[in-house]
Amino acid sequence: MVDHNWPRIAEALAPVEVIDDPTTIKKRSRDFFWYSPILNEKLRRSFGDLVVRPKTREDLTHVLAVAYAEEIPVVLRGGGTGNYGQAVPLHGGLIVETTAMNRILEFGEGYVRVEAGALMADINAALIEQGWEMAMFPSTQDIATIGGFVAGGSAGIGSIANGALREKGNIIQLKALSVEQEPVEHVFDAEDSLQIHHAWGLNGAITEVTLRTVPTRDWIGCMAGFETYRDCYAAGFRLASSTGIGRKLCCTVDARIVDYFPRLDGHVPKGSNLLVALVPREDMGRFEALISEAGGTLHLAMDDAERQALKLPHVFEFAYNHTTLQVLKADRSATYQQIGVADPSDPDRVAAMAATLGDDVWPHHEFARVNGEIVAFDLPIIWFRDEARLREIDATYEAGGFAVYDAHTYFVEGGGLKAVDYRHLAWKKRLDPKGLLNPGKSACWEDVRNLSPDEIEKLGVAESAA
Ligand SMILES: Cc1cc2nc3c(=O)[nH]c(=O)nc-3n(C[C@H](O)[C@H](O)[C@H](O)COP(=O)(O)OP(=O)(O)OC[C@H]3O[C@@H](n4cnc5c(N)ncnc54)[C@H](O)[C@@H]3O)c2cc1C
């Protein structure tokens, strides 16, 4: 590790804004890794050395050239809302905060082109005025950037209609800078964007993103209650697979979790297992019929003006990882896991799994459409005792045929990907030959860093042929 003279580096980075105040550096060295007690223990003492705030691509080019010349680790950071320590600097160095690179550059029929640091809430607000909206966005849209979503996220509100980010047509183009003596901007079109998507900023600094947009609709935020979680889940699956009812959010939350949502007091009776959905106004009649046939009661149905009048957050702030956050606000001994449901169409199997797991695991399912199929992900609340019990819970899921996408690892290969992505690593070698971007987050980089990019790519071809 090179011992850097930080005041001199700060001078070299000028005229780009540099923050050396220790409190700000500490804050910007964190993301939402503390959801996991295991990651919290491993990452809470990892800090960067300087925060840098480029405003333009030229600024960012200068920062990366200085990092290359001085061999300084670089972690790109958007809103810092990632869950696995994705944006935590393990080896110190520069935290490059992109939020000042936030211009919306262009939008038209079915697309939007923006700088990487633009907030998704701002993008959606601009699009909605023109009759469009993002095909999907995370529940953190108010503070998360589009670059962070494309580099660290996978799906969100809208995925029940439009699929995961990685699906054909959702990412139209990405541009990313290399870390070299003279950084070069590379353009990745359509399918090629997967070389950079979900690589956690390991293999290029994303400067610009072009994404698919869809016509906006008059969305109604809905919450329906059910006596049993099984019936609630069954209604969720029916809505998710419905062809006659539009929806951009469909999730189900166990009643014990709902009791941790004080904002819903007076709106939703205690003890309700909750179906949370966004449904277009014109389909509300059919939605209400579905709820009543499934044995539920519609407690809330509100458009955005009504929601604001009731002083309630968006319904998606009770979904995705916001569900977990609502519980963590009250009790930090909770954590969660990411589970793929074996057969999403079978509510009895889901209920049986919940019964097998025991009282320390409370279910919460998100439905999405992946490659045309309805899938369900469980993001259960787990009352954390120790790692041994967490791994026992994982093993119970796996024994029942459910997939575990571990949320308690900071390696890119360890969670959602579940495998080494040699294309990511080959592009890392091309764009980051010194391995300065987000060091320590790939469990496999050290094994391949001395190979050529083509040799690294061949490892992936050999693995898929085997
Ligand atoms: C309450 C809560 C709810 C969430 N809900 C969702 C959800 O619905 N769907 C979902 O997918 N995720 C969700 N997440 C995870 C996270 O909010 C999203 O992935 C979000 O889009 C990340 O954006 P960010 O700007 O905060 O990225 P950051 O956390 O700042 O960064 C994420 C990763 O991207 C890298 N990165 C950032 N900018 C760039 C860039 N310009 N170039 C290259 N790499 C870059 C970082 O180094 C890091 O590895 C949730 C998290 C929380 C805490």
Is residue 461 assigned to a domain?
no
Cβ contact 207:101 at 8 Å: yes
Task: Report which ligand 1 atom has the smallest distance to the Cα of 116.
Answer: 41
| Co-location of 223 and 358 in the same domain | yes
Q: What is the rounded distance in angstroms from the CA atom of residue 221 to the CA atom of residue 51?
A: 39
DSSP assigned state of 419? S
Is residue 203 assigned to a domain?
no
Out of 142, 321, 442, mutate this one to test ligand 1's pocket (max ligand atoms within 8 Å of CB): namely 321
Out of 29, 32, 59, 77, mutate this one to test ligand 1's pocket (max ligand atoms within 8 Å of CB): namely 77
**Sequence-ordered list of residues with C-beta below 8 angstroms from that of 144, at least 6 positions apart, any chain:** 78, 79, 81, 119, 120, 138, 153
**pTM score, whole prediction:** 0.96
Sheet of 381-383, strands arranged across: 334-336, 381-383, 361-362
Is residue 458 assigned to a domain?
no
Residue type present at position 255: A
Rg (CA), the chain: 22
Which CATH number is 383's domain given?
3.40.462.40
Q: What is the rounded distance in angstroms from the CA atom of residue 365 to the CA atom of residue 367?
A: 7
Is residue 426 assigned to a domain?
no
- Domain boundary (350, 373, 404) is at 404
Which CATH number is 81's domain given?
3.30.43.10
- Domain boundary (97, 124, 153) is at 97
Domain count, the chain: 2
Q: What is the mean pLDDT of the chain?
A: 96
> Strand pairing partners for 340?
377, 403
**Residue 271 half-sphere exposure toward CB, CA atoms < 13 A:** 1
> Residues lining ligand 1, CB < 6 A?
31-32, 75-83, 86-87, 98, 116, 138-140, 144-145, 147-149, 151-156, 200-201, 205-206, 320-322, 325, 438
Residue ranges making up the domain that contains 92: 6-97
Distance 394 CA to ligand 1 centre (A): 24
* Helix (H), strand (E) at residue 174: strand 171-177
Output the CA–CA distances (angstroms, integers) from residue 29 to 32, 47, 51, 138, 410, in the order listed. 10, 5, 9, 21, 14
Secondary structure (3-state) at 306: helix
pLDDT tens per residue across all 466 residues of the chain: 567 999 999 999 999 999 999 999 999 999 999 999 999 999 999 999 999 999 999 999 999 999 999 999 999 999 999 999 999 999 999 999 999 999 999 999 999 999 999 999 999 999 999 999 999 999 999 999 999 999 999 999 999 999 999 999 999 999 999 999 999 999 999 989 999 999 999 999 999 999 999 999 999 999 999 999 999 999 999 999 999 999 999 999 999 999 999 999 999 999 999 999 999 999 999 999 999 999 999 999 999 999 999 999 999 999 999 999 999 999 999 999 999 999 999 999 999 999 999 999 999 999 999 999 999 999 999 999 999 999 999 999 999 999 999 999 999 998 765 678 999 999 999 999 999 999 999 999 999 999 999 999 999 887 777 6
Is residue 433 assigned to a domain?
no
Q: What is the rounded distance in angstroms from the CA atom of residue 321 to the CA atom of residue 83?
A: 9
* Helix (H), strand (E) at residue 338: none
Is residue 114 assigned to a domain?
no
Is residue 340 assigned to a domain?
yes
- Domain boundary (65, 97, 129) is at 97
Q: Which pair of tokens denotes residue 324?
A: 């977990």
Is residue 374 assigned to a domain?
yes
Q: What is the rounded distance in angstroms from the CA atom of residue 195 to the CA atom of residue 204?
A: 10
Cβ atoms within 10 A of the Cβ of 151, count?
A: 30
Secondary structure (3-state) at 10: helix
At 390 the pLDDT is 98
**Sequence-ordered list of residues with C-beta below 8 angstroms from that of 34, at least 6 positions apart, any chain:** 40, 44
